[in-house]
A = this chain, B = another copy of it.
Amino acid sequence: MKTSIRIQREDFDLNREVAALAGDGEAGAVASFTGHVRKEKDLSTLTLEHYPHMTEAEIGRLVAEAGTRWPLTGVTVVHRVGALKPGDRIVLVAAASQHRQAAFAACEFVMDYLKTHAPFWKEETRGHEHHWVEHRASDDETAKRWQK
């Protein structure tokens, strides 16, 4: 399974990421998820902090677990950090397989666990106010559906 996990400030190129997973036809199905900064009243900046090294390690563990659950040919996770604006892309999770349902399930699984396990924190800037985004209990509930 080809695995690529990157934490970076820069944006990513979806065409390139999906092409790398599809290869010359090794995978027939690529499911992707992109998370974007929502437009909200007065929100000017969303700043992402993370725990270097643990982030990559934790996502690596989630991706490896996905590889044991579904027949995947590759998984790519790119998560941005630093200051982002409404509409900016925050995260990409893409999973490739010969089987459509495996690609979808793995993509959703990695995304759900990334939300609950990967050490990132979002701080919102609204006018002169800064505040840390609260973790949502609903994300914990969503992730629980994958428990065996």
B86 and A25 contact, CB distance less than 8 A = yes
Report B-chain residues with C-beta under 8 Å of the C-beta of A24.
Answer: 39, 86-87
Alpha-carbon distance A100/B91, docked complex (angstroms): 12
Q: How many residues of A contact B (CB 8 A)?
A: 35
Measured in the bound complex, the distance between the Cα atoms of B38 and A26 in whole Å is 6
A89 and B22: CB pair below 8 A?
yes
Q: In the complex this chain forms, how many copies of it are found?
A: 2
| Secondary structure dominating the interface of A | mixed
The answer to whether A87 touches B18 (Cβ under 8 A) is no
A29 and B36 contact, Cβ closer than 8 Å, known pairs A13-B15, A14-B15, A15-B15: yes
The 7 closest A-B pairs by CB, nearest first: A25-B39, A25-B86, A14-B14, A25-B87, A24-B87, A22-B36, A28-B38
Given A25-B39, A28-B35, A29-B35, 19 other A-B contacts at CB below 8 A?
A13-B15, A14-B14, A22-B34, A22-B89, A23-B87, A24-B39, A25-B40, A27-B36, A27-B38, A29-B34, A29-B36, A31-B32, A31-B33, A31-B107, A32-B32, A33-B104, A35-B100, A38-B98, A104-B104
